[in-house]
Amino acid sequence: MITVTNLNKSYRTRGGVVPALQDINLQIEKGEIFGIIGFSGAGKSTLIRCLNRLEEPDSGTIAINGKPITGLKERELRLARRKIGMIFQQFNLFDSKTVFANVAFPLKTAGYSKAEIERRVGEILDLVELGEKAGSYPSELSGGQKQRVGIARALAGEPDVLLSDEATSALDPQTTFSILELLGDINRRLGLTIVLITHEMDVLRHICGRAAVIEGGRIVENVPVDQLFSHPQSDTAQRFAGIFNFYKNGYREEPGRKEREAVLR
C-alpha cells in the first residue's frame, strides 16, 4: 500500500545542513493502522509530511497503491493528494465557517457539485457522530468535537490513506480514547490505511498493529506493537516503555523508591 524506499530529507540552517530523515525504508500494508513513534525532533512529523509531499524529500521514493508520488508534477500531485487525508494536532479549522462548511471546503475546491457535497458531508458528519453540529462554529465545540470535524474533513474526499500527525496530543485522556475508538471504527468500516504519528505508547497499544521507532532521523525498530512493550530494543523504545510502565504502575513502583524509604525509616 505505502512503500518508502531510501528516503532522505535535510534542512539548511545558518549552522549548515541538518539531516531530518536518513535512509528511511518502510512497507505499510493496505488496511493497516501503522504507528510511528519518537521523541520531539526525531523526524516523525517530517516523515509523515513527506508521505503527501507537504515536505519535499531530497532523495528516495514514496509509492502509494503502487503509484510513485515522488516526482509528480503539481497538477498530478493535487489529484494524488485527494486520496490522502490528513488530520492535524491543532485541528486547522476555519473559525469563520460552520462545521458543514469546514468539511465541505475540500470538496468545493475539488469541484464537486452542490448535491454531491450535501450528500457526502451529511454522510461523513453522521459517521463521526456530529450530524447535529453541522450549523455550529468551531468556537462552540469541545476539543474532541473539533478533532472529529478535522477527521470528517480528511475523509470527505474518500481517501485511501489517512495520515494522523499527533492528532490526540492536545486532548485529555478520555477524549483521546474516544478519538482512537473512532479511528478504529473508521478503519474497520472503510478499510482505510491509517498512519499515526505519536509520542504516546498508550496510543500505539490501543490502536496500532505494528509500529516503527524513529530516532535521530532513522528507523531503528519496525515491529509488532506487542514486541515494543515486551522486548524493546532501541534506546528510544526502552525509554518510552519505561515511562509507560512507570505511570501505569503508579509512583509506588518507582525504581529504588522502596529502598530509599527503608533508609529513611
Residue pair 130/138 in contact (Cβ under 8 Å)? The answer is no
Report the C-alpha gap between 198 and 37 in whole angstroms: 5
Apex 63 CA angle, 148 and 112, nearest 5: 45
- Amino acid letter for position 131: G
Q: Domain with 220 in it: what CATH number?
A: 3.40.50.300
Cα 75 from chain centroid (whole Å): 25
The residue to which cell 514486541 is assigned: 227
Task: Please give the pLDDT value at position 264.
Answer: 37
Within-domain flag for 48: yes
- Whether residue 249 is contained in a domain is answered as yes
Cβ pair 77, 23 in contact under 8 A:
no
Nearest to 27 by CA among 197, 192, 203, 212: 212
- Determine, yes or no, domain membership for 212: yes
Alpha helices in the chain (DSSP H): 44-51, 74-81, 99-109, 114-127, 143-155, 173-190, 201-207, 225-230, 235-249, 257-264
Indicate the number of domains in the chain: 1
Q: Please report whether residue 223 resides in a domain.
A: yes
Domain presence at residue 11: yes
> Quick one: pLDDT at residue 179?
93
**Inside any domain, residue 228:** yes
Using the structure block, give the residue that is written with the C-alpha cell 535512509. Answer: 23
pLDDT score for 119: 96
Q: What is the pLDDT of residue 241?
A: 77
Convert the pLDDT of each residue in 94-136 to its tens digit: 999 999 999 999 999 989 999 999 999 999 999 999 999 999 9
End-to-end CA distance of the chain: 60
| pLDDT tens per residue across all 265 residues of the chain | 899 999 999 999 998 999 999 999 999 999 999 999 999 889 999 999 999 999 999 999 999 988 999 989 988 998 899 899 999 888 899 999 999 999 999 999 989 999 999 999 999 999 999 999 999 999 999 999 999 999 999 999 999 999 999 888 888 889 999 999 999 999 999 999 999 999 888 899 899 999 999 999 999 999 999 998 888 899 988 888 776 665 566 544 444 444 434 443 3
Which residue range forms the structural domain that includes residue 202? 2-28+37-83+163-168+198-264
Residue 2 to residue 170: CA distance in whole angstroms = 27
pTM of the predicted model over 0.85:
yes
As given in the structure block, the three cell numbers for residue 109 are 475546491
